């Protein structure tokens, strides 16, 4: 028996929210959806997963109310790029530390700007600076002058071409994207993957307007890869783990650094210090499985911190 799939209208009714909000959740990668033709659908299991993630702390009997589910009164806001390891970290840390983490997967650049504006506590980023060809730190140095900042390596990831099983179109390099028989699906502006793609296209002198589908955007790796698995397009540029999850083939192009940026304030410094120690712990590292496409040898390594942040994590 096939699992029921819901329309955005039905999801809006279930959650008592507007249809526009449902589309925003899908756009940000917080709610996974797929398309049948031009119709958007959300599977029942995905609704259950989303409901579990968004559950408020349950009320306990009056005698126990002195010990709430979340011992930290201020939720930690995590913004930036969606990644399966980030998702795993958020769930593991929330349970182990009794900490409420509110993720918003809106892309590396937007996530970093939220952190810069003080509207987030952690940014998950993989931004390539085209001038230096260095990841993340050039942006950190430009934006954060006086703030207490710490940058920690989460993983290195393989980026490349996600293609159908057997790579029927024989896609091997960026010039293949300009072929008339190749249909592409892109990531949104501000995504770290889009930064890398555009940098590569520029270095090879490739005009994006020659790529069929360059203007069609998706907001996370899995959504983009699903277009290939359903035979709608031929290729996406994304991470190897997304290809693996959907049983697709992958042509590696580059290895990138994926980092977490912590911004300390009076309100969050205790929680962030605990999160950093948790990331560096053996218990978290031992919880990691199915790491094909990732290099976690530098997981937990501090690659940059301001002097004002050093004393906060001791």
> Domain with 15 in it: what CATH number?
1.10.10
Residue % of the chain over a pLDDT of 70: 87
Domain count along the chain: 2
Categorize the per-residue pLDDT at 26 as very low, low, confident or very high, splitting at 50, 70 and 90: confident
What's residue 56's pLDDT? 43
Categorize the per-residue pLDDT at 289 as very low, low, confident or very high, splitting at 50, 70 and 90: confident
Q: Where is the domain boundary, 233, 255, 277?
A: 255
Q: Which residue has the higher pLDDT, 51 or 1?
A: 51
Q: What's the 3-state SS for the chain?
A: CCCCEECHHHHHHHHCCCHHHHHHHHHCCCCCCEEECCEEEEEHHHHHHHHHHHCCCCCCCHHHCCCCCCCCCCCEEEEECCCHHHHHHHHHHHHHHCCCEEEEECCHHHHHHHHHCCCCCEEEECCEECCCCEECHHHHHHHCCCCEEEEEEEEEEEEEEEECCCCCCCCCCHHHHHCCCCCEEEECCCCHHHHHHHHHHHHCCCCHHHCCCCCCEECCHHHHHHHHHCCCCCEEEEEHHHHHHCCCEEEEEEEEEEEEEEEECCCCHHHHHHHHHHHCCHHHHHCCCCCCCEECCCCCCEEEECHHHHHHHC
* Residue 98 forms part of a structural domain: no
> How far is 188 from 215, CA to CA, in rounded Å?
9
Average confidence (pLDDT) over 273-299: 94
Q: Where is the domain boundary, 232, 255, 278?
A: 255
* Residue 138 forms part of a structural domain: no
pLDDT digits over 107-143, tens only?
Answer: 999 999 999 999 999 999 999 999 999 999 999 999 9
> How far is 314 from 312, CA to CA, in rounded Å?
6
- Bridge partners for 129 per DSSP: 134
The pTM of this model reads 0.78
Flag whether pLDDT at 242 surpasses 90: yes
> How far is 144 from 277, CA to CA, in rounded Å?
23
103's tokens: 């993720």
What's residue 269's pLDDT? 95
* Residue 65 forms part of a structural domain: no
What's residue 49's pLDDT? 77
What's residue 55's pLDDT? 53
Average confidence (pLDDT) over 14-23: 74
> How far is 213 from 102, CA to CA, in rounded Å?
33
Flag whether pLDDT at 182 surpasses 80: yes
Q: Taking all residues of the chain, what is their mean pLDDT, rounded to a whole number? A: 88
> How far is 33 from 46, CA to CA, in rounded Å?
8
Categorize the per-residue pLDDT at 47 as very low, low, confident or very high, splitting at 50, 70 and 90: confident
**For the chain, what is the radius of gyration of the CA atoms?**
20
188's tokens: 């949104």
What's residue 1's pLDDT? 40
- CATH classification at residue 185: 3.40.190.10
Q: Which residue has the higher pLDDT, 40 or 79?
A: 79
| Domain coverage including residue 15 | 1-54
* Residue 307 forms part of a structural domain: no
49-58, 152-161, 257-266, 299-308: range with lowest mean pLDDT: 49-58
Work out the burial of residue 294: count CB atoms within 10 Å of its CB; fewer than 13 is exposed, 13-18 middle, 19 or more buried. buried
Flag whether pLDDT at 271 surpasses 60: yes
Average confidence (pLDDT) over 35-40: 69
Average confidence (pLDDT) over 215-244: 94
* Residue 107 forms part of a structural domain: no
Q: Where is the domain boundary, 220, 236, 255?
A: 255
* Residue 286 forms part of a structural domain: no
Q: How, if at all, do strands 184-187 and 122-125 pair? A: unpaired
Categorize the per-residue pLDDT at 57 as very low, low, confident or very high, splitting at 50, 70 and 90: very low
What's residue 244's pLDDT? 93
* Residue 114 forms part of a structural domain: no
CB 125 within 8 A of CB 259: yes
Q: Which residue has the higher pLDDT, 67 or 276?
A: 276
What's residue 38's pLDDT? 65
Average confidence (pLDDT) over 281-292: 92
What's residue 313's pLDDT? 58
Contacts of 163 (CB under 8 A, 6+ apart): 169, 171, 228, 234, 235, 243, 248, 249, 250, 251
> How far is 242 from 86, CA to CA, in rounded Å?
14
What's residue 15's pLDDT? 75
* Residue 231 forms part of a structural domain: yes
Average confidence (pLDDT) over 266-275: 95
């Amino acid at each position: 028996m096939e699992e029921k799939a819901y329309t955005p209208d039905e999801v809006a009714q279930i959650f008592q929210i507007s249809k526009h909000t449902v589309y925003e959740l899908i756009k940000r990668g917080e709610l996974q959806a797929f398309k049948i033709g031009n119709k958007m659908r959300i599977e029942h299991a995905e609704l259950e997963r989303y409901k579990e993630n968004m559950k408020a702390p349950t009320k306990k009997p009056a005698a126990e109310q002195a010990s709430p589910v979340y011992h930290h009164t201020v939720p930690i806001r995590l913004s930036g790029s969606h990644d399966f390891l980030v998702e795993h970290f958020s769930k593991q840390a929330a349970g182990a530390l009794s900490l409420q983490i509110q993720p918003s997967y809106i892309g590396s650049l937007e996530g970093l700007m939220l952190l810069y504006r003080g509207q987030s506590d952690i940014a998950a980023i993989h931004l390539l600076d085209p001038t230096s060809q260095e990841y993340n730190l050039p942006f950190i140095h430009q934006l954060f002058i006086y703030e207490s900042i710490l940058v920690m390596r989460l993983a290195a990831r393989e980026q490349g071409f996600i293609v159908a099983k057997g790579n029927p179109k024989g896609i091997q390099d960026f010039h293949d994207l300009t072929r008339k028989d190749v249909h592409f699906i892109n990531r949104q502006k501000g995504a770290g993957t889009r930064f890398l793609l555009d940098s590569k296209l520029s270095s090879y002198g490739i005009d994006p307007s020659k790529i069929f589908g360059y203007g069609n955007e998706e907001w996370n790796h899995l959504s983009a890869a699903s277009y290939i698995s359903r035979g709608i397009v031929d290729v996406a540029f994304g991470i190897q783990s997304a290809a693996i999850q959907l049983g697709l083939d992958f042509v590696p192009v580059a290895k990138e650094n994926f980092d977490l940026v912590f911004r300390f304030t009076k309100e969050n410094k205790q929680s962030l210090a605990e999160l950093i120690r948790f990331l560096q712990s053996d218990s978290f590292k031992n919880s990691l499985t199915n790491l094909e496409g990732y290099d976690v040898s530098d997981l937990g390594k501090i690659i940059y911190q301001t002097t004002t942040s050093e004393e906060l994590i001791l």
